[in-house]
Every structure is written in C-alpha cells, then in structure tokens.
Chain A
Amino acid sequence: MKPDDDDKALSQAYAALEQPLPPPALDSAILAAARNAVQDGAKVIPFPARPRRNWGVPLGLAATVMLALGVSLQLRDSEETRLDEPMLAAEMSDPVAVPEATAAPPANAAVGSKDEKNLESASTAAAAPPPPQEEPVTSSVPATRRSLAQPRQIPPAEMRPAMEPGLMESAKHAAPAALAAPAPEPEPAQEAESKAGDPMARQDKRSQPALAPAAPAPQAMPAPAPAAAKPAAGRSQEHTAPALRKMLESMPPPTTKPDATPERWITSIRQLLEVGKEDEARRQVRLLQQRWPDHPLPRELRYLLEDAAQP
C-alpha cells in the first residue's frame, strides 16, 4: 500500500466513524439566540444561565442586625448592673438610713395632719415593711439582677437595732392586717405589677431610692397602731440590750419631726382631745415634754401631764 493510499484509507476510516451531532434542542437554542441578537441588537449570554444565588446579601444583613441586637442587649445589661451596684452599696453601708426614712413619715403626718386618721396611720406606716405586692415585682427581675437586688430587702433582724422597738412590733401586727384588709388605693402596687413586664417600668423601679417600698404602706394599713405600740414597745425593750436602749432613748420620738414647733404640737394635742383621744393626748404631752422640756405647757393641758405622772 502506497503512503497516499494509506492516508486515504485512514481518512475514509475516520469518515466512516460515527460523527456526533449536537442535540436538536441545542441547535434550536443557538439559532434562536443568533436571531434574537440580530433583531434586538444586543449581546446574548450563554445559556442555560445559572441562577445567581443572591442570598448572600440578605444573610449578611440579617447577621449584622442580630449582632447589633446582641451587642446592644449586652451593653444595656451591663449598664443596669452598674446602676444597681452603687445603689446597693449605699444601702448596705448605711443601715441607719432605713430607720430614718421610715421614721420621717409619721412625724410629717402627726404634726402636719389635721385629722385623726392621718395621725393614726402615720404612726404605723413608718414601720411597715414593704407591701406584699412588691414580691412579684422583685421576682420578675432577671436572675442576674435579682441576685444584686435581693439584699435591698433588709430583713427585720438587721433593722431592729436602729429602729424603735415599738414600731417594729406595731409593724409586725400591722402587716397581717395589711394583708387581710382591702387596700383603699391599690393602684401603685398594681401599676408596679403591670409595669414589671416592660423595661421602662423596671428601670423606674430600680431608680427609686431604697425607701421606696415603704411609700405605699400608709395607704394599705388602716389598723390603728398607737394603742398597740405602747405595750409592744415595752415587750420589745425587755429583750433589748442596755446600750441599745440608751441609744434609742437618745433619739427623738418617732412622732416628732425635727423641725416641728411646740406650738403646732400643742395644737395637734388639742385636736386629739376634741375627738376624745385623751390617752393619745397624754402620750403626746409626755413626748412633748421630753422633746421640749423648757417649753411652757398650756394650763388647760397640764392635767394630762399630771395624770400621766400618776402611776
């Protein structure tokens, strides 16, 4: 076989091989693209066009939003913790602040009030523990903040040395009454409960001073405490150390106000006599003499002091 014949035979053999052809769908697609390009005058793109996955952008946005939310929540929690810590430290380092604050309202009420109801409620409200409605509010605080806020609820054992024993006893007796008696104005506690869910309410609650829980107590304690306070004080003083008793005696009476004048005090005693509260009037006269020993007692009230001096 000559070389040319060999080459021709090879070409023929190759031509005899099965010649693959493009699929008809591919023919149609290419021809359609060519026609469209001429008609529209625009460039055509290879097909089948692979769909672009555009989920990257929304996913990135969602991740950014979630990250920002997480950071802002972390920052807010840390700020709340910082706000709680100094307040808590001030409360724990100044135990006298609680009795001072609780003693102040009765003085205001006793001296400044015009009617008997205010006078009676004021004497008991000062020693009232935080109302029971406060408990759900406190429990609604997250665990991390509750651990810091719990010491704010000072147990009665810690309050006793700086508090007048009589007031403590009256508070013990008045607390069940407050639980049993319907509260005349329950709005504060209910509002506190209703606001416990939202952050603003919790923030308001945290921003209140340490004596805030005692504020609604006068409204929820209608029980007359002065009558029970005197024997209660005697029982309590039996268990009080002498040094502590001396310190308590040096303190001003709980129903007085540091800036209360003797004239206003005498006026309130006269009002007590007018409504028939002679026992309370005697007690107030005795306290007035202790507080203002040099102030002359009006003649019409001296019999109260004489009767009180009798055994």
Chain B
Amino acid sequence: MEGYHPSVDSAGGESGIPLHSPAMQPAHDDTALMLAYAGGEAVAFERLYALHKAGLYGFLHRQSPRTAWVDDVFQETWLAVVNARHDYRPTASFRTWLFGIARNKLIDRIRLKEPALLGDFLNEDDEDPLARVAGDSRQEPASRLEGKQAGQALDTALRALPAVQREVFLLREQADMSLEDIAALTGVPMETAKSRLRYAVAKLKATLAGVS
C-alpha cells in the first residue's frame, strides 16, 4: 500500500518471543537513508536495498502462493518505494512501511490472478489453528526426518500454515517486526496477531520436535 504509514514506530523485539532477526537495522538509520534518497542521493537507496532485500525477498518467497510472482512483486515493491520517495514521512519505521507495501502488492496480485486464494490471505481464518496443526495430513512422521530433512520439514510446515499465521511468523522472523507493528500492518487487533503467532510457532515447534 503506497503511502501507508503505521502510527507506531518501533524497532521491534518487545514481545516475549525471542526471534532471530537477520535484517536487524536501527529504524532511525533506515529513515535517514530514505530521507536522503528523497533528497536525491542514489547511494542512500542502494544502502537501503542492501539492508532489506533479503528479508523482503524471503518474506515474499515463502508467503506468495506462486513462486513466479515473487520477482514481480519484489520489483513492484521497490519501484513503489522509489516513486513514493517524496511522500515518505518518518511516522513509522521504514521496514514496516516497506513490508506493508509488499504485502499489499501481493494481495493485489492474488486478487487479480487467483481470487479464490484471497480468503486465506485476509483475516478470514475461522478454522481452529491448533486443530489444523494436530491434524495436518501433509505433515510427515517426525521419525523420518533427519539432518537436512529438518530444514525441508520446517519449510514444508511453514508453507502448510494458514496464510495469516505464516504471515505473522514471517514478518516477525524476516522483518524483525514487533507484534504491535504486525497488528497495525495486517489490520488486526494486537491479540489476534499475538494468537496467530503463537499458533504458528506451536506447529513449527511440533515439527522440529518430531525431527529431534
């Protein structure tokens, strides 16, 4: 969503769940770089791109229902940043703004290409997440998982998550966003975001326990 500026500015990490942050970067640095780019410094954009391209690409790669869409949505997201450079206001972290744009681009693509999948990516998960975790037939027996297969099992379990739960988990892991920012970005109450993250983590833990 271009011009989307969450009112909450947070560097993340305040929740009780310690998560890995591969793209950890002080929010004020991102904001300064974006403002510098809006002022005409192309090098500032290159720095921003280097800091966030992996996290954003990883998020889209695992959240997109079609792998073929990833490059397009990734490119559209960054070009939206370029075109909105003069409208950028540092009311929220750059990372939250960037992932918000990417999320909206992905939903637009789903709405355009495969609207049948749209319900999974919006806030329409009436199914009990725990029941789904327990009864997922696609989950392989833990005893068969060894070594590198653990990563594949985690990846498979991650893709088997409901889209909204996977989204919260990816935003937490890939973008190092706080639950508060995730709730604001996805447009759900804080408790809902927290619940989704808890359910996602529970299922993934169960997968890892089966491997070990």
Query: Which residues of A are interface residues toward B (Cβ below 8 A)?
Result: 4, 6-23, 26-27, 29-31, 33-35, 37-39, 43-47
A37–B208 CB distance below 8 A: no
Chain B, interface SS category: helix
A22–B57 CB distance below 8 A: yes
Q: Which residues of B contact A13 (CB under 8 A)?
A: 150-151, 154, 204, 208
CA distance A35 to B41 in the complex (A): 9
A14-B173 contact in complex given A7-B17, A29-B75, A47-B75, C-beta closer than 8 Å: yes
A20–B57 CB distance below 8 A: yes
Number of A-B contacts (CB under 8 A): 94
CA distance A29 to B53 in the complex (A): 13
CA distance A45 to B61 in the complex (A): 23
30 A-B pairs whose Cβ atoms sit less than 8 Å apart in the complex: A6-B205, A10-B208, A11-B18, A13-B154, A13-B208, A14-B173, A17-B151, A17-B155, A20-B57, A20-B61, A21-B57, A22-B57, A26-B71, A26-B75, A30-B49, A30-B78, A30-B79, A31-B45, A31-B46, A31-B49, A34-B37, A34-B42, A34-B45, A34-B46, A34-B49, A37-B82, A38-B37, A38-B42, A44-B82, A46-B76
Q: Is B54 an interface residue (CB 8 A)?
A: yes
Q: Is B74 an interface residue (CB 8 A)?
A: yes
Q: Which residues of B contact A39 (CB under 8 A)?
A: 42
Query: Which residues of B are interface residues toward A (Cβ below 8 A)?
Result: 17-20, 22, 37, 40-42, 45-46, 49, 53-54, 57-58, 61, 70-72, 74-76, 78-79, 82-83, 85, 150-151, 154-155, 158, 173, 201, 204-205, 208
CA distance A27 to B19 in the complex (A): 28
* Known A26-B75, A46-B76; 19 more pairs at CB < 8 Å: A4-B18, A6-B205, A7-B19, A10-B204, A10-B205, A11-B173, A15-B173, A17-B154, A17-B155, A18-B151, A20-B61, A21-B53, A22-B53, A22-B74, A27-B53, A34-B49, A38-B40, A44-B79, A46-B79
